[in-house]
Amino acid sequence: MTFALADWINPRLQQVEQALMQWIDPDAPAALGQAMRYAVLDGGKRLRPLLVMAAAQAVGGDSAGSGQAALRAACAIELIHAYSLVHDDMPCMDNDVLRRGKPTVHVQFGQAQALLVGDALQALAFELITPQGDDVPPPVQAALAGLLARAAGYQGMAGGQAVDLASVGLSLTEAQLRQMHRLKTGALLLCSVQMGAVCAGQPTPLVMQALSRFGEALGLAFQVVDDILDVISDSATLGKTAGKDEAADKPTYVALMGLAPAQTLAKQLHNQALAALNDSGLPLAQTLPLRALADMVIHRNN
């Protein structure tokens, strides 16, 4: 079955961009709104929002991807991702000055404002998925907020950042490296798939389990590819500083196992992700966007 990913992605990207423009209030007090918009708009591949929408479609949700719950969940997870980048770039963390080809938020607006931008984006993520009125049924709101909170917090992204921080200069085993990335980047990618699934009804435990296996494999593959790109790309292609992992003496898959074995691992994880979809029992046609996004993650060059 052929599938034109660009034709699937483009209208959904437009939807997400428009929704983010609408939902990040430019008039938030004391220029906070402008700084929040700077941190989020016109940047990034929007992989997490696309995964939410693709997962909603996989379980039989609105195939136009226009369901309010999925759109809100898609934007919410992007806000969490964006806030983590703002805080991660700060001088006390990675001290990075370039992000998506632009000065980072603290360079542009100062450190105090960058701190508040991240804090406010995290709160806004939870605001988006708990709308007043009838847009999203309250039980779906509760499920989305529960998934997002766990993926963003100490059991997920923030926990992974703490492990990352504590690992600089240490030599990790592959199991330790995997655990760090499972938390730091994997949790949010897995959460994207899970949020999409609960937006579109009540998936069976079998389906939820298969989609979670897909999300876990994809999340790890994403990081392995990230480590590979940090070595083989230049800053212009990446839109951020290349080679910074090595410069910061950070543990990576490439440093641990070498370039070729890391590339093999990425392919294996890709296959695991696709196998999980085969095991899900979901109709092939419904899972085509998820499959195509997995291909994109593996073959991206930035």
Q: Which is nearer to a second copy, 176 or 271 (CB)?
A: 176
Residues of span 58-97 touching a second copy by CB under 8 A? 83-84, 87, 90, 92-93
Token digits for 275? 């196998």
Q: Which is nearer to a second copy, 72 or 291 (CB)?
A: 72
Residue 162's alpha-carbon distances to 27, 106, 152, 165, 168, in angstroms, are 33, 21, 12, 5, 11
- Residue selected from 15, 57, 122, 194 as contacting a second copy according to rule CB under 8 A: 122
Counting residues that bind a second copy (by CB under 8 A) gives 58
From CA 14, how far away is CA 5, in angstroms rounded? 14
- The CB-of-90 to a second copy minimum distance in angstroms stands at 7
Give exposure, 32-48, as e/b (b: 16+ Cβ within 10 Å): bbbbbbbbbeeebebbb
Taking Cα atoms as reference points, which of 13, 14, 33, 8 lies closest to residue 23? 33
Q: Is 98 in the site for a second copy (CB under 8 A)?
A: no
SS3 label, residue 219: helix
Site string for a second copy, 177-216 (x = CB under 8 A): ------x---------------------------------
Which helix (H) or strand (E) element contains residue 98? strand 98-99
Token digits for 39? 């941190």
- The CB-of-126 to a second copy minimum distance in angstroms stands at 4
Q: Is 171 in the site for a second copy (CB under 8 A)?
A: no
- Residue selected from 160, 186, 219, 289 as contacting a second copy according to rule CB under 8 A: 160
Site string for a second copy, 12-51 (x = CB under 8 A): -------------x--xxxxxx--x---------------
- Residue selected from 139, 258, 281, 283 as contacting a second copy according to rule CB under 8 A: 139
From CA 215, how far away is CA 55, in angstroms rounded? 10
- Residue selected from 145, 172, 208, 231 as contacting a second copy according to rule CB under 8 A: 145
Q: Match 């008039």 to its residue by tokens.
A: 27
- The CB-of-85 to a second copy minimum distance in angstroms stands at 12
SS3 label, residue 190: helix
Q: Which stretch binds a second copy (CB under 8 A): 48-56, 61-69, 122-130, 235-243?
A: 122-130
Q: Write down the H helix ranges in the chain.
A: 5-23, 32-40, 47-58, 68-88, 105-109, 111-128, 138-152, 157-167, 174-181, 187-199, 205-232, 235-238, 244-247, 253-257, 259-279, 284-299
Q: Which is nearer to a second copy, 86 or 293 (CB)?
A: 86
Binding site for a second copy (CB under 8 A): 25, 28-33, 36, 83-84, 87, 90, 92-93, 110-113, 115-116, 118-120, 122-127, 129-132, 138-139, 141-143, 145-146, 148-150, 152-156, 158-163, 165-167, 183
